[in-house]
């Protein structure tokens, strides 16, 4: 039985479904006590929520109106065979060619929605449908992101007004499909080593792009493998024989008519990857490829017809497009990781095992791992709003004042860098916890955990290796601390900077020990937790700075610096949520039950940081062994107190079953029948294999 690459209205698909029903009719699929108990457990768990789940869903979605709009979009895409894979096909079983075609079909379908007058959709609804599709498919999300964010952000952040006016409409309408050619085979985000060159030919008023070596090949470039017509490419710029630094250029890769490669451009597909099968990551080489001078993005630089070049006010502005790329990890985190948590949590409350047939979620090994992971999702979601506001100040809608831009960019770069580091590593840890929490069933592709892990894997290195980024963030923190301690200088910002605590460095350094005898004070007082965390951060940064002054190199303190930068981000999440969900500072319109549970999640996150980074406080003599023991005890106990809320909290993410995709995470808890149905729909599930005659029969039929 072959499952066709078509929706269920296709005759061959109908035949496959009929065959499935025939097979099920031959099976004894009577409900067992376990399968009957599972939905009851789910209902009981859902009823245990101390808050209105629907109102928590509103908070997650960004408000009641946003929630209603997103649910309209979920309902719209659910039965659309061009946006959501329909049974008997399974999204998690597609081959690479099928995934590539389907993802591009999703992009095409979403671009046609405004042209379908019968649908009568508003722009807001169309944008929401795109967003719902984005949540459904990480491959679509990444593929569309490369064009709509990376390529477009490069034009808007690095291009002048004429360039923006020329390209933005084409980008919006997908008249051009763009990609972002930064990394090379031998060079990742260490941009100073980039080998691709762009040499200005004053005779023809053109740049000549060249890939001089195999390691200069642009590599891992999303959409470059099969799709992109254009790219923004970074290259060493040679003018009058002199290297004037790195600049960005718009380069056409393929014909907009027939998709063929342009002269002097060679590109191809990288091939099979661990995840993101539907994204055509590719490689690009330029061989004396000529582009006009006007294709050099020129917001911060200029080059006239005679070869007179004006460099950027600071070379760092040429890397600014990496900030939104790294901030996009916020979205990836809340989309992918929260889905994995839903799967592990729902399975954990319906699966019973042990001497007393306990729900496996009741084991400490489960709830102490999953409850903080749930808290983390809500902490990130709230902080995302602050980061978006800060980034909007940085970019000013494309009208950035150079002085303001440069002043704010250091803060935003450091925040984006350490945010990517913390979320990348902790989310990887969460995914492994989710996989283990689902036991052997997580090894089944049909239960989605493996697919999420595959798609997520790139996040710890793509857009910059986490170690490098956290080291960069640590250097910024050390710079801010040095400026404060030596010169009493700290800049003024239009937002509360994540480094604001450094402004009180002298006070924190004066705290020789944590004067808290009863650690349970942390449960009702955010300031107690924040004060301890900020003290530890400042003390650790100061110790690292002293080591550097005594002759150590940055490499000697690399791992210490990375850990402090990671903690810095974790504390930023806590401080942001503490301000948002403290009863005295919270939005008065926020539902009281939702405020209460968010307050509790924030308390848990503060305890999580104290527990996870207690070694940092111990190193400075600030935390005693006894206090660390008390922190662990209270942290575990607080996780236990939130155990009964896990279904309500994960329901708050608002995902329908078709988004989650995993039968062991069915909303109603009826997981066993759903799981069995999924495997029965697999191609050839009960058929004689095509290789039987060639390899099996000669062995088993030897006596005849």
If residue 326 lies in a helix (H) or strand (E), which one and from where to where? helix 322-332
Q: How many CB atoms lie within 10 A of CB 86?
A: 20
Calculate Rg over the CA atoms of the chain.
27
Q: How far is C-alpha 330 from the chain's CA centre?
A: 5
- Span between the terminal Cα atoms of the chain, in Å: 29
Is residue 586 packed enough to be buried (19+ CB in 10 Å), middle (13-18) or exposed (0-12)?
A: middle
Task: Please compute, for residue 304, the number of CA atoms within 13 A of its CA located in the half-sphere on the CB side.
Answer: 3
Residue with tokens 């990836």: 332
If residue 17 lies in a helix (H) or strand (E), which one and from where to where? helix 11-26
What 3-state class would DSSP assign to 305?
coil
If residue 278 lies in a helix (H) or strand (E), which one and from where to where? none
Distance CA 542, CA 620 (A): 10
Distance CA 676, CA 28 (A): 12
Distance CA 381, CA 334 (A): 7
Residue with tokens 């980024």: 469
Task: Please compute, for residue 672, the number of CA atoms within 13 A of its CA located in the half-sphere on the CB side.
Answer: 14
Distance CA 265, CA 230 (A): 11
In angstroms, the Cα distances linking 28 to 21, 31, 440, 679 are: 13, 9, 23, 15
Distance CA 588, CA 584 (A): 9
Q: How many CB atoms lie within 10 A of CB 704?
A: 5
Distance CA 164, CA 155 (A): 6
- Strand intervals (E) in 116-221: 178-181, 197-201, 206-210, 218-221
What 3-state class would DSSP assign to 249?
strand
222 is in an annotated binding site: yes
Residue 610 and residue 532 in contact, taking contact as beta carbons nearer than 8 Å: yes
Phi and psi based region of residue 94 (left: phi greater than 0; alpha: psi -120 to 50; beta: remaining):
beta
Q: Calculate ∠ Cα 157-161-165, nearest 5°.
A: 100
Distance CA 50, CA 46 (A): 10
If residue 235 lies in a helix (H) or strand (E), which one and from where to where? strand 230-239
If residue 540 lies in a helix (H) or strand (E), which one and from where to where? helix 526-549
Task: State the binding site.
Answer: 183, 222
Task: State the binding site for FAD.
Answer: 183, 222
């Amino acid at each position: 039985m072959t499952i066709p690459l078509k929706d269920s209205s296709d005759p061959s698909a109908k035949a496959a479904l009929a065959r499935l029903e025939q097979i099920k009719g031959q099976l004894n699929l009577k409900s067992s006590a376990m399968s009957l108990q599972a939905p009851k457990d789910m209902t009981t768990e859902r009823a245990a929520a101390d808050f209105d789940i629907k109102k928590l869903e509103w908070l997650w979605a960004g408000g009641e109106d946003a929630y209603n709009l997103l649910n309209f979009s979920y309902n719209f895409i659910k039965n659309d065979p061009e946006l959501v894979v329909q049974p008997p096909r399974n999204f998690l079983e597609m081959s690479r060619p099928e995934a590539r075609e389907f993802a591009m079909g999703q992009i095409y379908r979403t671009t046609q929605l405004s042209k379908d007058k019968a649908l009568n959709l508003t722009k807001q609804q169309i944008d929401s449908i795109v967003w719902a599709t984005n949540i459904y498919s990480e491959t679509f999300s990444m593929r569309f992101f490369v064009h709509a964010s990376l390529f477009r952000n490069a034009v808007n952040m690095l291009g002048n007004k004429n360039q923006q006016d020329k390209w933005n409409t084409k980008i919006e309408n997908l008249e051009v499909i763009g990609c972002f050619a930064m990394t090379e085979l031998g060079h990742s985000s260490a941009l100073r080593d980039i080998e691709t060159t762009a040499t200005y030919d004053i005779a023809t008023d053109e740049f000549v792009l060249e890939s001089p070596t195999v390691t200069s090949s642009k590599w891992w470039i999303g959409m470059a493998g099969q799709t992109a017509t254009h790219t923004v490419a970074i290259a060493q710029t040679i003018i009058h024989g002199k290297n004037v630094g790195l600049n960005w250029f718009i380069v056409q890769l393929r014909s907009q008519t027939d998709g063929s490669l342009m002269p002097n451009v060679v590109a191809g597909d990288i091939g099979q990857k661990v995840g993101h099968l539907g994204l055509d990551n590719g490689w690009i080489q330029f061989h004396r490829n000529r582009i006009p001078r006007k294709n050099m993005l020129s917001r911060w630089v200029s080059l006239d017809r005679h070869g007179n070049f004006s460099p950027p006010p600071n070379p760092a502005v040429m890397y600014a497009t990496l900030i939104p790329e790294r901030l996009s990890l916020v979205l990836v985190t809340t989309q992918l990781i929260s889905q994995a948590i839903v799967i592990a949590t729902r399975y954990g409350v319906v699966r019973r095992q042990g001497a007393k047939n306990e729900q496996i979620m009741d084991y400490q090994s489960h709830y102490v791992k999953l409850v903080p992971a749930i808290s983390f999702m809500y902490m990130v979601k709230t902080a995302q709003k602050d980061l978006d506001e800060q980034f909007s100040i940085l970019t000013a809608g494309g009208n950035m004042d150079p002085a303001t831009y440069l002043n704010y960019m250091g803060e935003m770069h450091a925040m984006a860098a350490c945010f990517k580091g913390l979320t990348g590593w902790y989310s990887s840890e969460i995914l492994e916890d989710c996989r283990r929490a689902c036991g052997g069933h997580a090894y089944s592709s049909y239960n989605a955990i493996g697919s999420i892990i595959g798609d997520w894997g790139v996040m710890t290195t793509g857009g910059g290796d986490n170690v490098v980024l956290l080291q960069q963030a640590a250097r910024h923190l050390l710079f801010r601390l040095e400026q404060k301690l030596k010169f009493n200088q700290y800049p003024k910002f239009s937002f509360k900077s994540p480094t604001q605590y450094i402004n009180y460095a002298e006070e924190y350094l004066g705290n020789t020990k944590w004067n808290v005898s009863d650690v349970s004070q942390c449960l009702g007082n955010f300031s107690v937790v924040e004060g301890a965390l900020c003290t530890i951060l400042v003390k650790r940064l100061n110790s690292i700075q002293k080591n550097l002054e005594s002759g150590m190199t940055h490499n000697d303190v690399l791992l210490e610096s990375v850990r402090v930068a990671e903690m810095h981000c974790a504390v930023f999440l806590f401080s942001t949520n503490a301000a948002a969900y403290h009863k005295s500072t919270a939005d008065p319109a926020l539902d009281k039950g939702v405020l209460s549970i968010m307050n509790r999640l924030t308390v848990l996150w503060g305890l999580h940081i104290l527990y996870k980074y207690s070694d940092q406080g111990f190193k400075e003599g600030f935390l005693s062994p006894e206090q660390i023991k008390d922190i662990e005890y209270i942290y575990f106990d607080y996780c236990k107190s939130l155990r009964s809320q896990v279904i309500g909290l994960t329901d708050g993410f608002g995902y329908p079953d078709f988004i989650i995709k995993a039968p062991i995470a069915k909303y109603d808890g009826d997981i066993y029948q759903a799981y069995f149905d999924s495997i029965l729909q697999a191609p050839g599930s009960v058929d004689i294999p095509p290789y039987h005659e060639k390899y099996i029969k000669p062995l088993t039929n030897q006596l005849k």
